[in-house]
A and B are shown apart, each in its own frame.
Chain A
């Protein structure tokens, strides 16, 4: 708590005397210019004195409408306007202010309590209507406080919007120098420049959503919503109402009207992730909506125009799904649009180190620790690994390595790949068959407590084969 005004005020002013540090900072932020338009010189003097108690408030007084209107270009932060001026009516002055700068808050201060007048002035854009009495001064303070908070919020929102734009500036958010990525960059650039549907494919963790966001936040739709829908996350029976919305009472539990994801994305972009998992019934409903370019809420009869850009993504090979009969061919062609096929990380070899460095730097920055470097052996280890989880996995592995190291260097011993890797991962290592055999035998020996007999039975091979391998020391009985 901080005391910014003079302490020995009357108790009705206490509420304004004590403000928290945060509010204090807000109030002190920048000069607040108040224009007082008040034909009663005496009362104007009181208001001016009261408001001037705060050092960052500057006050200018006018005793008639004409003088005030001449100074409108000085852009006051707030105008307090006496309703009964000698020359121009308060209504007229308000109108002129609103014509000149609609954003300027105008507080009407009147000696009369006339609700009709008050309402009509508020309708004309007055910020507030205050009666001249004991509490007038306090009310003005409250108004000032509210206006400032509102301004701060506005400022914050515009800053956040800028941050988003920067965050998704794809030259910074998507990292890569490899030739497959250069091709991707040029495709993204094309997608940004048009409204075409984009279908993004790629293995899990290759950055499909990052690309979708990059397209949205760099397109003309950036200021409108980006609505991401993960098809696998929505139960199929709820899919239709989730996507298209529903009217009250459309089904049991539909207690209120709800707009769907497509409507939510109005003017912006809808991103349908894992589109390949969509139920075949829903596929036909989606196809109809895309063809008609309009939709109907579940249980509703009104038609709503479709006005959003569509981006889809899948890790599946959709063409293959069409051949298998799991995905409608007509929908496939409608959604294909501009296909962007993201390369797997292992196909972007030289990007692995680039991305690893990026994630390490990011980690160090977030955790406020000094820069870390990657030793050559660690780099080698990163390059050799097949990265089945792609960039997502790389990020996790690299962050863990940052935690594990005790020095300024990430070494190969700090890099551990999680063992949940599927058989595909193992196959992608491209080892000699002999090596694969050794790995498998070792795995089973570990699993069955080095019991050679059981392992021989499980693998349907002779015990002697295992003993021979042990003799050749390719497989050891000790668990290292």
Chain B
């Protein structure tokens, strides 16, 4: 466990630690997974936005559910709980009025992560 300053958090929204441990030096694999994430994240964002605009909260939950493992594996800790809330709230149609702002936060973080990954 180590604490991070706010500044570091902003600079380091993800951690490839888990992936690197799994790859054990196989950088090609890490790069491939990072590229896939960069490609998939905007697709997930689109799907969640569309779902919200069509009030298809169930699909919003499903999209959150699908992106959840990659968020965990990519070490995006700030989204760990948020993506779960989004999944549950969408699935059960609870806290409906809070969903748009939560989704905004998630999307913003995801965009930043993708940006950081591109420049890594």
Chain A residues within CB distance 8 Å of chain B? 6-10, 13, 39-43, 45-46, 49-50, 84, 111-112, 132-134, 137
Contact = CB atoms under 8 A, between A and B. Distances in A.
A134 B75 CA distance: 11
A8 B24 contact: yes
17 contacts: A8-B24, A9-B21, A13-B21, A41-B40, A42-B36, A42-B70, A43-B69, A43-B70, A45-B32, A46-B19, A46-B33, A46-B69, A49-B22, A49-B23, A132-B69, A134-B18, A137-B22
A40 B69 contact: yes
A39 B65 CA distance: 11
Q: Secondary structure of the A side of the interface?
A: loop
Contact of A42 (B25, B29, B40): B40
Given A39-B66, A134-B72, 17 more contacts: A6-B24, A7-B24, A8-B24, A9-B21, A9-B24, A42-B69, A43-B70, A43-B73, A45-B32, A45-B36, A46-B19, A46-B73, A50-B22, A84-B65, A111-B66, A132-B72, A137-B22
CB-CB nearest 9 A-B residue pairs: A10-B21, A6-B24, A43-B69, A42-B70, A132-B69, A111-B65, A40-B66, A42-B36, A8-B24
Contacts of B22: 9, 46, 49-50, 137
Interface string B34-50: 00110010000000000
A42 B68 contact: no
A134 B66 CA distance: 16
Nearest to B23: A49
B51 interface: no
Interface in B1-35: 18-19, 21-25, 29, 32-33
Interface in B72-114: 72-73
A59 B118 CA distance: 30
B62 interface: yes
A175 B40 CA distance: 75
